[in-house]
Amino acid sequence: MSILLSSAPRRRLVVLGLDGLPLALAHQLGASLPALRRLAEGAVTVRAELPELSPVNWTSLLTARGPEGHGIFGFSRLDPRTYHLSIAGSAQVACTTIFDALGAAGLVSRVINLPGTYPVRPLRGMMVTGFVSHDLASAAHPPFLAARLAEAGYKLEADTSRGAADPEYLLAELRATLASRLTALDMLWPDLAWDLFVHVFTETDRLFHFLMDAVLDTGHRLHLDCMRLLAHWDDALGRFLARYDALPGPKRLMVVADHGFTRLRTEVCVNTWLKKQGFLVPDGAPSSEWDAGVIGAGSTAFALDPGRIYIHTRDFARGRVSEADRPAVAAAIRDGLRDLTFDGEPVMEHVYTSDELYPGSRCAQVPDLVCLARPGFDLKAKFDRDEVFGLFGRTGAHTAHGAIFADTAGLRPERMRDVGAAILDHFNIPAQGA
């Protein structure tokens, strides 16, 4: 594609990501948080891609395609030969991104903390990757940016492993990541030598996972601490919005969350259910919750996070289910999960087949079934749990519906891939395969 130089002003687009923020809660919290109140006024909702996880949905935004096009179906991927689980990242994204398309058109992107982009891929612009990022050297482009961030003490991610059992520590970690995001904003915004600016705050997702009860219950001993953290977060939003307000036109602001959130009733381990029903037959004791190596030759199915179910066909090293038997196994699992209840209440809102969710997909990682739980039920795919239901330190759960979306141009997208397509459309670039 040829690049034409123009003296016309940049038609800048700013995308503010608020990971895991539901519109209903934004209205509730906005009573005491002025920046959030401004963003929630006139906002609508966007539906999450399924499974309703951050890597699936942010990758749908950054590619303008659904999982069947970009190939990311969850946090983890399984090697069908070794049964080794690994974290899905940018290297596994199977298509070009909106940043590739903008760069080919001579446009510049600046990106801060966008989940699913680690390790960083070169782009025309600058990027600091988001969750799951481990090392600054592989998280920043151009390379010199990593050194500048390190000098400023940039924190890639809050330590939720320790924070899950130590809420005061978690809140301190979230304050530190907030400060780091503003540090990156101060580095990447001011010269205005960009066309697209994407900045994602992930603190709400972390807070709601572990302290949703404290956020919602005014009598909780940590309620005021959570509200103080949210006040810091709202101040950061206000500082971001002040930069947008001072930006010369023409300009446009989109605000988007990747999924909603609600109070957790119970976690639901799909692999434990599969074991109890005889579909998953372990070969030995798992060494950890992630030990997919225990999937035995006698297994006809297994699950990966959060509720992706794979029929154990001969595509897997130890799989024995024939293609002829695959539909019957899937149907039996689907019927059983539809009947699964907790305290007399159905757990599943729907159990989709791959053809329903991802028509025409040829990706090797596409699941046979995808479970969508009813609000309050948090699906898991652990290999070491003995009980289907239980609580393990979290108090909030994702929802596929209700995520906040706002746009100064009045767009009302249906789902996350449509937001990515709208970003391209703003710059008159067609979306491929959206």
- Span 75-114, pLDDT tens digits: 999 999 999 999 999 999 999 999 999 999 999 999 999 9
Two tokens at 4?
């034409």
Tens of pLDDT along 304-353?
999 999 999 999 999 999 999 999 999 999 999 999 999 999 999 999 99
Classify strands 266-269 and 389-390 as parallel, antiparallel or unpaired: antiparallel
Q: Give the count of beta carbons closer than 10 Å to the beta carbon of residue 217.
A: 14
Two tokens at 195?
């066309």
Q: How far apart are CA 68 and CA 77, in angstroms?
A: 15
Nearest CA-CA partner of 239 in 412, 16, 2: 16
Strands laid side by side in the 196-201 sheet: 44-46, 403-407, 251-256, 12-18, 196-201, 109-114, 125-129, 140-141
Task: Judge contact between 189 and 245, C-beta under 8 A.
Answer: no
Q: What's the CATH number for 12-264+396-426?
A: 3.40.720.10
**What average pLDDT does the structure give for the chain?**
96
Give start-end residues of each CATH 3.30.1360 domain in the chain: 266-390
The predicted model scores a pTM of 0.95
Q: Once rounded to an integer, what is the mean pLDDT over residues 29-56?
A: 97
Residues 6+ apart with CB under 8 A from 328: none
pLDDT at 8 over 90: no
Residues 6+ apart with CB under 8 A from 244: 14, 251, 253
Nearest CA-CA partner of 361 in 47, 51, 85, 72: 72
Q: How far is CA 119 from CA 88, 133, 136, 193, in A?
A: 10, 7, 9, 24
Q: How far apart are CA 88 and CA 75, in angstroms?
A: 5
More confident residue, 386 or 364: 386
> What is the pLDDT confidence band of residue 7, given thresholds at 50, 70 and 90?
low
pLDDT at 434 over 60: no
Q: For residue 275, list its beta bridge partners.
A: none
Long-range contacts from 316-321, C-beta under 8 angstroms, 24+ separation? 316/80, 316/83, 317/80, 317/81, 317/82, 317/83, 318/83, 319/80
Give start-end residues of each CATH 3.40.720.10 domain in the chain: 12-264+396-426
Two tokens at 89?
């990242």
Q: What's the CATH number for 266-390?
A: 3.30.1360
Residue 259: what residue type? H
Q: What beta strand segments (E) does 326-422 contain?
A: 341-342, 345-346, 348-353, 369-373, 377-380, 389-390, 396-399, 403-407
